[in-house]
């Protein structure tokens, strides 16, 4: 804990700016801003969370500095659905809700913690202490097939394949997505660069290709099923298979929303569709409202094995929650047909 008292020179100055001067070089301005936001700074005994708070003379400032956390993740006995494992790699079916690696707000309970417990010291160290063996990621709420490297040779080999995005190798990634509505064609390609959203830096957005942070992004899609299809070829929702030509953060979610068909359950990129469930018949309405993640599952991953050179393929069926969602849309289809035919 540190205690400071402001003087006449502090009058009108920002809290974070004043502290950064008086606590340098021990604490950076970013660190001070984080401490303020976390409620670790008090003025005259009252917690202040506003970094721009204007100071006055004679204020007693108390700063609580938490003990630094160990950056090295620890192994945790978290169950893994292992599809395949050998000396070079491990392939898992990641459940929705599991964060891939430690980071802000998720220092424990991640896939990395589970892998350290399961694999011990055999994971590749190239990814660093927080991302050992990680060569690609899935969003927290996206389920499906992932591969992790268990040694540095495998890590380099797999990373090169993912960096190439299958353009000159046999890397193949396919996802199942349940989207609102239906695309205007059965098969299509979305070619639109992605970058950070100016409105929310945690989100991605379609950006102009000449913007400095624009990243080339291409998604190929094919409509597998339409639910609640009408005579004008519109549909309530659709099951779409997406194949990635590039692998950008939130790529499928942003691209499908961009063409007007956001993923069911995706409140980040499809928030405007949240009330759409209110117009559904029961029990479909309750099931859709209860589906609180993006309806996205990595069903297929194929790549060249780093040691044998063999092309290996791994598939995982849609998890129970997504299977239940799909079944509800299919059952709703049957009921709609019965209504059209005036059947009981």
What residues are annotated to the active site?
Answer: 139
* Residue for token pair 């424990």: 108
Provide CB contacts within 8 A for 317, sequence distance 6+. 299, 323
CA–CA dist 278, 285 (Å, integer): 7
CA–CA dist 265, 277 (Å, integer): 10
Find, among 219, 267, 268, the residue nearest to 276 by Cα.
267
Angle at 12 between CA 7 and CA 16, to 5 degrees: 85
* Residue for token pair 């990641």: 94
DSSP SS3 for 246: coil
Angle at 191 between CA 186 and CA 192, to 5 degrees: 130
Written as six digits, the tokens of 58 are 């004679």
| Neighbour order of strands in the sheet with 46-47 | 2-5, 60-63, 41-43, 46-47
Written as six digits, the tokens of 302 are 């194929």
Q: How far is CA 139 from CA 118, 209, 240, 253, in A?
A: 22, 24, 18, 10
Which residues partner with 223 through β-bridges? 240
DSSP label at residue 219: E
CB 321 within 8 A of CB 291: yes
């Amino acid at each position: 804990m540190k205690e400071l008292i402001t003087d006449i020179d502090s009058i009108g100055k920002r809290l974070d700016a004043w502290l950064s001067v008086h606590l340098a070089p021990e604490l950076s301005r970013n660190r001070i801003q984080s401490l303020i936001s976390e409620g670790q700074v008090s003025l005259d005994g009252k917690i202040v969370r506003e970094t721009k708070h204007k100071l006055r003379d004679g204020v007693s400032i108390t700063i609580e500095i938490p003990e630094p956390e160990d950056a090295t993740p620890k192994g945790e006995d978290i169950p893994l659905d292992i599809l395949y494992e050998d000396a070079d790699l491990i392939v898992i079916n990641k459940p929705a809700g599991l964060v891939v690696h430690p980071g802000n707000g998720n220092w424990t309970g991640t896939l990395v913690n589970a892998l350290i417990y399961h694999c011990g010291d055999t994971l590749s160290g190239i990814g660093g202490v927080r991302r050992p063996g990680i060569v690609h990621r899935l969003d927290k709420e996206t389920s499906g097939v992932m591969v992790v490297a268990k040694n540095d040779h495998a890590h380099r080999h797999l990373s090169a394949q993912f960096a190439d995005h299958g353009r000159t190798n046999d890397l193949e990634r396919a996802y199942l997505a349940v989207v609102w509505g239906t695309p205007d064609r059965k098969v299509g390609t979305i070619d639109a660069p992605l970058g950070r959203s100016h409105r929310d830096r945690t989100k991605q957005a379609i950006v102009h290709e000449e913007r400095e942070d624009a990243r080339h992004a291409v998604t190929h899609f094919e409509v597998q099923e339409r639910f609640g299809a009408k005579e004008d070829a519109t549909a309530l929702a659709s099951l779409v298979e997406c194949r990635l030509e590039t692998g950008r953060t939130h790529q499928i979610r942003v691209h499908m929303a961009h063409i007007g068909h956001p993923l069911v359950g995706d409140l980040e990129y499809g928030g405007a569709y949240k009330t759409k469930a209110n117009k559904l018949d029961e029990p479909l309405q309750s099931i859709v409202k209860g589906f609180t993640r993006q309806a996205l599952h990595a069903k297929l991953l194929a790549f060249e094995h780093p040691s044998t050179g063999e092309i290996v393929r791994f598939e995982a069926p849609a998890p129970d929650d997504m299977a239940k969602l799909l079944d509800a849309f299919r059952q709703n289809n049957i009921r709609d047909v019965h209504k059209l035919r005036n059947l009981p």
